[in-house]
């Protein structure tokens, strides 16, 4: 299953997940994205910059966060760092009503599958 398929399946499981993206933090690029509509590049760049700010930039280090969550009244941003290559991350935006723990656990499992398939 492709990364794109995995992202789409995650969003299908959690309809309030508006954007699911796979990013390379070292280059600051979104590599694959799933969303209801085509997103402008500026938004994707800003999304990736937010992930870099939350997780830290690049190489594997125990001192870098593995999970970062940021929430405001507008919704949640959830960032999960890949375990096999620390510069890659899953970046998610979802509504405020989501069950944060269930969603984060499912996203972590999905990221593990992506890493196994890679």
Which residues sit at the interface with another protein, rule CB under 8 A? 54, 62-74, 76, 96-97, 100-101, 104
Q: State the minimum distance, in angstroms, from the CB of residue 68 to another protein.
A: 5
Question: Are residues 105 and 67 in contact, defined by beta-carbon separation less than 8 angstroms?
Answer: no
Query: How many helical (H) and strand (E) elements, i.e. helices and strands, does the chain have?
Result: 3, 5
Nearest Cα residue to 89 out of 42, 38, 50:
50
Cβ proximity to another protein, 35 vs 100, nearer residue: 100
Cβ proximity to another protein, 70 vs 113, nearer residue: 70
Cβ proximity to another protein, 36 vs 62, nearer residue: 62
Q: Decide: helix, strand or coil at residue 55.
A: helix
Cβ proximity to another protein, 40 vs 97, nearer residue: 97
CA distances to 40, 71, 81, 117 from 68, in Å: 24, 10, 9, 24
Q: State the minimum distance, in angstroms, from the CB of residue 84 to another protein.
A: 14
């Amino acid at each position: 299953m492709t990364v794109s398929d995995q992202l789409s399946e995650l969003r299908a499981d959690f309809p309030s997940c508006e954007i699911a993206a796979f990013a390379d933090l070292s280059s600051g690029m979104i590599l694959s994205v799933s969303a209801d509509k085509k997103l402008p590049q500026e938004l994707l760049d800003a999304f990736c910059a937010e992930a870099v700010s939350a997780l830290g930039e690049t190489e594997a280090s125990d001192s870098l966060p593995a999970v970062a969550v940021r929430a405001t009244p507008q919704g949640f941003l959830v960032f999960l760092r890949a375990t096999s290559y620390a510069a890659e991350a899953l970046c998610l935006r979802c509504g405020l009503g989501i069950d944060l723990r269930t969603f984060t656990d499912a996203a972590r499992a999905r990221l593990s599958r992506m890493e196994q398939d890679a």
